[in-house]
Amino acid sequence: MGAWGFKIFENDDAADFVAEFENSGAVAVAGALDVACNNLDYIEAPDGSVALAAAAIVAATSGKSEFLSEPAETALRNVSNWQALSGLKGKAIQAVECVSSPNSELMELWAEAAPADAANFKNELNRLRAALR
C-alpha cells in the first residue's frame, strides 16, 4: 500500500500530492476531490489517499491543521491561492464519505491490516470528517 502509518499523510501518494499542491494550489485540491467524488463505482487506493490529503488541506484552512504533515503545512503557507480552498469544504466532506465507502480500495486494504491499525485509520477518517463540518 505504500503506507507507513494510519495518518492522512503517512503514505506515498499523499506525500507525493504535496508537490502537486505546491505547484497548482487550489486547482490540485479541487481536482483530487473531484476524482474521488466522480469515481462512484470504485475508488482506487492512490486516488483515495490523495483525496484524503486534499480534504485535510481544506480542513487546515479552517484552523484544523493537525492532519497535515510538515511539508503539507509549509506548502499551505506558500501557496498563493489557498483562500479559494475554504470554498471546497462541501466537496471535501463528500470525498471523505466516498473514500470511506465499501467501494474504496483504500478501505479494503485497511480492512486487511492489523485490527488496531484499521481502527486507527477509521478513527482518523472520523476525526477528519468532524473537522470539516
Q: Which cell numbers hold the place of 81? A: 491561492
Annotate 68-121 with DSSP letters as a single string. Answer: --HHHHHHHHH-TTGGGGGGGHHHHHHHHHHHTSTTBHHHHHHHHS-HHHHHHH
CB 9 within 8 A of CB 67: yes
Q: Judge whether 5 and 67 are in contact, CB under 8 Å.
A: no
CA distance 44 to 113: 17
CB 43 within 8 Å of CB 106: yes
Residue 130 pLDDT greater than 70, yes or no: yes
pLDDT confidence band for 52 (50 / 70 / 90): very high
Would you say residue 1 has pLDDT above 60?
no
pLDDT of residue 83: 74
**54-101 confidence digits (pLDDT tens):** 999 999 998 899 999 999 999 988 887 777 888 899 999 999 999 999
Percent with pLDDT over 70 in the chain: 99
Please give the pLDDT value at position 86: 82
Q: What is the pLDDT of residues 2-45, one digit of tens each?
A: 778 899 999 999 999 999 999 998 999 999 999 998 987 899 99
Supply 61's cell numbers.
Answer: 484552512
